[in-house]
Chain A
Amino acid sequence: MNWFDSAMHRALLEAALVGAMGGVVGVFVVARRLSFFTMALTHATFPGIVIAALLGINLLLGGGVFGLLIVAGVVMLGRGRGQDFTAATGVALAGGFALGVVLISAQSGFTKDLTAYTVGDILTVDTFDLATTAAVTCVVLLTLAMLGKELLLRAFDPDGAAAAGLPVVLLDLALLALVEMAVVATVPALGAILTLALLVGPAATARLLSDRLALLFPLAAAIGVACGLAGIWISMVADVAAGASIALLVGAVFAVALLLRRGVRRPRRSTALSGAD
């Protein structure tokens, strides 16, 4: 029997892939404070996937195209002066999700139910989904490795990057497109709502544990993979939803890291305070 014939094996591999990719991409999402934008992206991808399902075309393609439209829109809005970037992102978030729900509810006798899109169903990923995720993971990680130092400069010092002659709009577009690809590849496993957990949680956790950029990428990837694998295992043992288990674990690990960091900091802070007193 082929190793890939087991739904459990496929789910584990998928979880490891999206965990690693989400962790690495997440480092940039957190550093550039794109968490809210990423959330809007996950929700805006949703109607694209629904439309693709209705038309019978590839779901990832549908979600991807819709998401790219959002990326282009946000980059344009971000360039305009006096635009409230956050407000526009919020409108896109709610509007995209609502559009998806309307489309699904208008379709009677629609086979896949709403929850599969909103919270995902990692145990049903097939070999094609896996191959797609693997390919997207490779492309995303390679591109990040190639553009890493330019993206770093752009993230740290936007004006400095422009002053150095870097094509900042193209760089922004590239980063948002990479985030978008990671989102689209993760949505079948974790759904439109829970995908955010893997794209922000592991990186935010890694950031709590280390100040060193070079460590953040492997650390975030490891946390993502570990949460993914452990989440699948918990869902098997306890017979609960896999995507939600993964997201819950990510949240729990983040909380523990937060407490650890507080614990490490408190003694120092208290001595400083007593010294000041």
Chain B
Amino acid sequence: MADTAPPASPPDGVPPDAPPEAVPPDAAGPQAATSETVGPEDGAPRERDVTLRMEHASIAYGDVPVLEKIHGIVHPGEAVALIGPNGAGKSTLIKAILGLVPVVRGRIEVLGRTPALARRDVAYVPQADTLDPDFPVSVEQVVMMGRYRKIGWLRRPGRADRTAAAEALEQVGLTQRARHRFGTLSGGQRQRVLLARAIAAQPRLLLLDEPFNGVDAVSQHALLEAISVLKGRGASVVISTHDLAIAHLACEEVCLLNRYQFGFGPAEEVLTPECLRATYGGHALELRGDRVIVAQS
């Protein structure tokens, strides 16, 4: 369902072919339907909770704007795919949702709180190949890292932490590799271990940065399965990816990004040839009207 407001008309500098209204207008919807400030902990039932709310958010490193006017909402149990070319700002948006990069205009709210205050309920899955494969750490130790914030300072993992870590590892199908060194696993398996680490943290919002890059079919299947289990438990998921097919498969919503937001809404409505061509600035080829190939430059 399209609980999103369309982006405001783009400012100067937007490519002329950018569609100003990529999403069916539904501006009256979300703000009216949900409370802005009440956290979900109070348990008060409401029409629909919001996990992630972005309101015309602009994000910048210092003086350099990276993303402008990002606008959309993610509900519990929903997944949104961030799609756009390299350097479009997908990773930056994930960092902003983590509160690691400042929002200079507009705002981003996670579970009714500022991103920095919501980190306990948010788990982040980095790209496996950004981590040192020589690091002397075992698979089970990596998964246990997901429990560190719940364990707290100066304390050691308890029985509940070990159980949670073991279950998380089982969910990604790597129980038998628990004692292996992290770096000895394949890229796809390492990515699954990192997802297990996030699952062990029992997040309400899961952020994955390019989780399917260089991942074999078996691991891709295991990742998708585990993500859908998390969604079934009411967690929201944000996945940055190049893979339109996976976006279709795993996500209800799609956010097209290339410095500006070129669309945010249900996959079938947003993944149109027009929107993709606009997002990729001419690097998208249309095949027979309804299929699109995106060429990475």
Contacts and interface: CB of A to CB of B under 8 A. Distances in A.
Given A146-B154, A163-B122, A156 B100 contact: no
B131 A156 contact: yes
A213 interface: yes
Interface stretch (A59-67, A89-97, A147-155): A147-155
B153 A31 contact: no
Q: How large is the interface on A (under 10, 10 to 19, 20 to 34, 35 or more residues)?
A: 20 to 34
Interface string A205-227: 00100111100100000000000
B148 A207 contact: no
A211 B138 CA distance: 8
B248 interface: no
Interface of A: 31, 146-147, 149-150, 152-153, 155-157, 159-160, 162-166, 207, 210-213, 216
Given A150-B153, A164-B145, A165-B116, 14 more contacts: A152-B145, A153-B145, A156-B131, A156-B142, A157-B126, A160-B145, A162-B98, A162-B100, A163-B100, A163-B122, A163-B123, A211-B181, A212-B138, A216-B136
Interface residues of B, number: 29
Interface in B114-135: 116, 119-120, 122-124, 126, 130-132, 135
Interface of B: 98, 100, 116, 119-120, 122-124, 126, 130-132, 135-138, 141-142, 145, 148-149, 151, 153-154, 156, 181, 197, 201, 207
Report which residue of B120, B131, B148 has the largest number of chain A beta carbons within 10 angstroms of its beta carbon. B148
B152 to A, nearest CB: 10
A-B residue pairs, 8 tightest by C-beta? A163-B124, A165-B119, A211-B181, A163-B98, A153-B145, A213-B136, A146-B154, A156-B135
Contacts of A163: 98, 100, 119, 122-124, 207
A216 B141 CA distance: 14
Contacts of A164: 119, 124, 145, 148-149, 201
Given A159-B124, A163-B98, A213 B137 contact: yes
